[in-house]
A and B are shown apart, each in its own frame.
Chain A
């Protein structure tokens, strides 16, 4: 994302508070009535032009959800959410779905421009090397506004579109794979998402195809009091490869906004999926007011033999993060990887980690987690590594490092290990360190100011994970980390 530095500088210049993406776009919005009931679900389904089976599927999920309890085991606390005080659908008002970018509201394009998203194909073509090209599916509140690069992807046989479009155009694929990784009743938020999801991305890579470019979705929550419930489904058929990038921002608001996404990945035999996230949603002000509640279910299924799924995440935003991108290592010889940087500052609460479920033989997994806590934040790594009876030769390596800045924040590591197979080998390493006064003094003696010194030390700390991100993303992530730690010392 080449425009990012410029964007950061510009937004930084305008904004006095910590959050640098806090601008609101004034658009005419079309909303469902406030609250949640079957009529709202019918409204959403109708707006999306969905077939009958999809509506039924949603309603069933909704009825299930009504019987469920909000989970309380995570190390986060927040006031009770009134699920009837939210809007579940908000879309920029358009008479008809846009056929091309020219039909998209210029205000929306402007908002994306401020975020540094290269939405316009021409810009991308002009500015970026062919092999680094990124196709963007931008989700503005609940509707996918425009998808770039469609044609070229179509030539490769790749399907990259909004989930709504996929439900209409590729129902056989959606029916086959939707909720096949995250069952409808998996957990409270996933069930809620199944009932009310409004948009998200759909990707299908045919057998043997290496996706010719990075695919990217940029989520942005704009409308007040809307929950954002996207649903993403990525399928890599046999022997295919795809790298998918997800970036998120939200404007600054007083009320908390709810975000409960479901992301499902399916990798068939010898396929590989790389899923990278940079999440910098509004974390709330210094008192923790406002900010996004991020309750996300992300799970990958290494369904085929020798398949690989890699989750890489950089989490710097949100007031509360509840997120455990996981891998089910079903295929023999499959591999799951989880690389995470989670930065918390101010009053942020993060409870994040991963689950590696080893079902197949000779499955391997690797977890590298770097938690950085500053201010009065709480940062918990929660991870599960388990080996099924049949998972002979399963191997896991876990390394969790925590870095504390100041002495009012907390870092916690909660690893669960379950092994039902004697040949499984699980290794776990964990460290907690503090940026020492002596290190800071040394850096400052060489001319770096305090913030630069902290940023440099932190970047050293997270380097192993940053290297796992695609180049443009790594640069952006590095800057975000520095920005989110501003004011954390002194």
Chain B
């Protein structure tokens, strides 16, 4: 389970997370919604271990263990996975090469045997086929010249391949066409399991019709300001964030 306690984060003196509390149980899919700039991506970066933030207070616990001192690779080995809102390009590095290096680095760090090339190719091809990613794309440099939707799909391919325990999806739905949205949602649903935790950041109820969340949390001004069930997302879709912004300002 993932627990975030009283997280206070600043960047260059500007407060971005301001005493955020959130817990997500094993097997649970939690949706995070909230206006632009409310700190959703920042939260995902903090959990994944990006530097350059001043963490003034709080804890991030995975199954009770505080991970804030670990570097991003160590957290990845513990099972943290972030599907980026804006995936990075790695010129000259074939997607296949990148995926194999990453998967084997994780396996090695966990004391598991590294996969041989044929084993690896079998796995990656199977995952690509499910997500309707053409195999030819795996030979291209990672994310270089990929369309917005292709990049998002590639993030989900990586998630499927690594089978992480703590998955954060940051606006994976933005940029996806209707068919891709279904394919990606199916990919995520296939990974749902009693010992896996999901944080799904999105602006749209549409995604949550495909990936039905157990809980929905509203973020505003660096805090979770309201939590509820899946009906909360429907309500937000109808009324927007006006109430929460006003509440904060008052």
Binding site for B on A (CB under 8 A): 436-439, 441-450, 452, 456-457, 459-464
Contact = CB atoms under 8 A, between A and B. Distances in A.
9 closest cross-chain pairs (CB), A and B = A460-B92, A460-B93, A447-B106, A446-B102, A444-B72, A442-B88, A447-B76, A463-B92, A447-B105
B109 interface: yes
Contacts of A448: 73, 101-102, 105
Contacts of A462: 92
Contacts of B49: 441, 444-445
Contact of A442 (B52, B84, B162): B84
Interface string B42-81: 0000001111100000000000000000011101110011
Contacts of B50: 441
B202 interface: no
B76 A445 contact: yes
B128 interface: no
Contact of A456 (B73, B89, B90, B162): B90
B177 to A, nearest CB: 24
B52 A450 contact: no
Contacts of A446: 76, 98, 102, 105-106, 158, 162
B141 interface: yes
B109 A439 contact: no
A442 B93 CA distance: 14
B175 interface: no
Nearest to B106: A447
B98 to A, nearest CB: 7
Contacts of A461: 91-92
A439 B49 CA distance: 14
A438 B88 contact: yes
Say whether chain A's binding surface is mostly helix, strand, loop, or mixed. Answer: helix
Interface string B89-120: 11111000110011101100100000000000
B229 interface: no
Contacts of B102: 443, 446-448
12 contacts: A437-B51, A441-B48, A441-B49, A442-B84, A445-B49, A446-B106, A446-B158, A447-B106, A448-B101, A449-B105, A457-B90, A463-B92
B87 interface: yes
Given A439-B90, A456-B90, A445 B101 contact: no
A24 to B, nearest CB: 34
Contacts of B98: 443, 446, 456
Contacts of B93: 456-457, 459-460, 463
A452 B105 contact: yes
B82 interface: yes
Contacts of B81: 445
A452 B101 contact: yes
Nearest to A462: B92
Nearest to A457: B90
Given A442-B90, A456-B93, A461-B92, 18 more contacts: A437-B51, A439-B90, A441-B48, A443-B98, A443-B102, A445-B84, A446-B76, A446-B105, A446-B158, A447-B76, A447-B106, A448-B73, A450-B71, A450-B73, A457-B93, A459-B92, A462-B92, A463-B92
A458 to B, nearest CB: 9
Contacts of A439: 88-90
A444 B98 CA distance: 11
A460 B101 CA distance: 13
A321 B71 CA distance: 37
Nearest to B109: A447
A447 B73 contact: yes
Contacts of A437: 51-52
Contacts of B109: 447
Given A437-B51, A448-B101, A461-B92, A442 B77 contact: no
Contacts of B75: 445
Contacts of B80: 445
A452 B105 CA distance: 9
B101 A456 contact: yes
Contacts of B51: 437, 441
A442 B142 CA distance: 12
B52 A447 contact: no
Contacts of A464: 92
A449 to B, nearest CB: 5
Nearest to B97: A456
A445 B48 contact: yes
Given A448-B101, A452-B105, A460 B76 contact: no
